[in-house]
Amino acid sequence: MWYYSLKNSRHRVSFQEALNKGLAPDKGLYFPESIPKLSERFIQNLSKYEIHQLAFEVIYPYVQGDLKKEFLEEIIQKTLNFPFPLVAIDQDVHALELFHGPTLAFKDVGAAFMAACLGHFQEKNSAPITVLVATSGDTGGAVARGFYKVPQVKVVILYPSKKVSELQEKQLTTLGENIEALEIEGDFDDCQNLVKCAFLDKELQKERSLTSANSINVARWLPQMFYYFIAYRSLIEKSSDKKIVFSVPSGNFGNLCAGMLAAQMGLPVRHFVASTNSNDTIPRFMENGVYEPKTAQTTISNAMDVADPSNFVRITQLHPDFKDLRNSMSAYRFTDPETIETIQNIWKRKSYMLDPHGAVGYMGLERYLKRKNQEPSTIGVFLETAHPVKFIDKIPEELRKEIPMPDVLKDLMKKHKKAQKLSRDYESFRTYLLDTR
């Protein structure tokens, strides 16, 4: 498969190069040159496939030419090694729980797949590669965990001092081995700025080969299709004539965009709902066709505090016609008080604990199902993207005691932080990178 830059269709690269570069030199996102169609027979027989086989069939065309079948099989084994339960909340409303991975967030899937691919390509490379990640808290943990002990890969994580939760800090700073954490005396923008400067520093790049692992990387985007297929497979086991509506709590829109790609490959999906917090650039766009980002607002579903979602261009590439896009996708926004109320309500009525992001997804699904005159075969699934314990400080106080502490976290909290403190000044970061080569 070839990938082209969305800013210049003549710039084409292989999967491996798209993975290594992240973003095209013209700053365009990479996009597959064609969208493979799965056969109807495959879709009809989905329930007969074991989950790893299913994932293989879905992603193989995207890596063909770069990854041999047996290596892809190994990579999928490493990626999908935790469950993706579908939990019934109401009669036709299900939570697709994506938080059973090592850092309790859906980003574990993309991060693990990307890490395994890079690790594989690095086997043939005698020089180690360094992955630089700036994080405001959540992404860094999933990436660090994904790359943990991958040979020939070093990871340097930059996080803003005192601006991440205790739990997040533990996830970033306690791994050791090939994962180095830098506690930057500044905010997230300072961290991002240091990473940017390093990528522009030609002299430094001669000494140390650098890459990024941010969410627009094709190797993080594409594997997110897996769980849409897995959800469909679980649902048709129960009732075969259902048509699914997926509601996706969205920030940068990578997760939703992966679902829409799965649908274009042939997964039967009736509709997508993009659910956002008050960062509502896309809901406004869906109303009037005008793309007009405002400054990002802080909310309790803070992994979605994105004003200018970088993956949305991929969605408009999948659906260039606005009318067609509106037929495939609706978008709704919800405030923090609505989110809190939903968490309380669902706990009271169903004894199910939503995290703030999942709550936004739930509300989007509910609104869509109520608004449209639904055919009886419609079934709703919202993506529950994080374990509620990760956002326990955002959950109403009286409910916090109801949230179980997963074993992985109990162990994590006992570990000791190891991080190097650095100022936000580029020279000290540069010196650090050169000295720790």
Ligand X SMILES: *Cc1c(COP(=O)(O)O)cnc(C)c1O
Q: Which residues bind ligand X (CB under 6 A)?
A: 105, 107, 138, 215, 249-255, 303-304, 357, 385-386
368 bridge partner residues = none
- Smallest distance, Å, CB 47 to ligand X? 27
Q: Which two tokens stand for residue 381?
A: 């699934």
Decide the pairing of beta strands 378-384 and 329-333.
Answer: unpaired
- Smallest distance, Å, CB 421 to ligand X? 26
CA distances from 403 to 84, 304, 394, 414 (A): 19, 22, 12, 19
Q: Which is nearer to ligand X, 66 or 169 (CB)?
A: 169
Q: Which is nearer to ligand X, 186 or 249 (CB)?
A: 249
- Smallest distance, Å, CB 356 to ligand X? 8
- Smallest distance, Å, CB 347 to ligand X? 18
Q: Which is nearer to ligand X, 160 or 254 (CB)?
A: 254
Report residue 103: phi and psi, to 5°: -110, 15
Other CB atoms within 10 A of residue 81 CB: 13
Q: Which two tokens stand for residue 423?
A: 């100022």
Q: Which two tokens stand for residue 292?
A: 């007009």
Return d(Cα 347, Cα 355) in angstroms, integer.
Answer: 11
Please report where in the chains the tokens 């162990």 appear, as a residue.
411
In contact, 211 and 133? CB cutoff 8 Å: no
Q: Which is nearer to ligand X, 179 or 256 (CB)?
A: 256
Report residue 313: phi and psi, to 5°: -60, -30
In contact, 265 and 247? CB cutoff 8 Å: no
Return d(Cα 21, Cα 19) in angstroms, integer.
Answer: 6
- Smallest distance, Å, CB 303 to ligand X? 3
- Smallest distance, Å, CB 207 to ligand X? 33
Q: Which is nearer to ligand X, 154 or 387 (CB)?
A: 387
Q: Which is nearer to ligand X, 245 or 274 (CB)?
A: 274
Q: Which is nearer to ligand X, 111 or 156 (CB)?
A: 111
Return d(Cα 168, Cα 178) in angstroms, integer.
Answer: 18
CA distances from 25 to 11, 134, 180 (A): 9, 20, 27
Q: Which is nearer to ligand X, 334 or 429 (CB)?
A: 334
- Smallest distance, Å, CB 246 to ligand X? 13
Return d(Cα 101, Cα 406) in angstroms, integer.
Answer: 11
- Smallest distance, Å, CB 259 to ligand X? 10
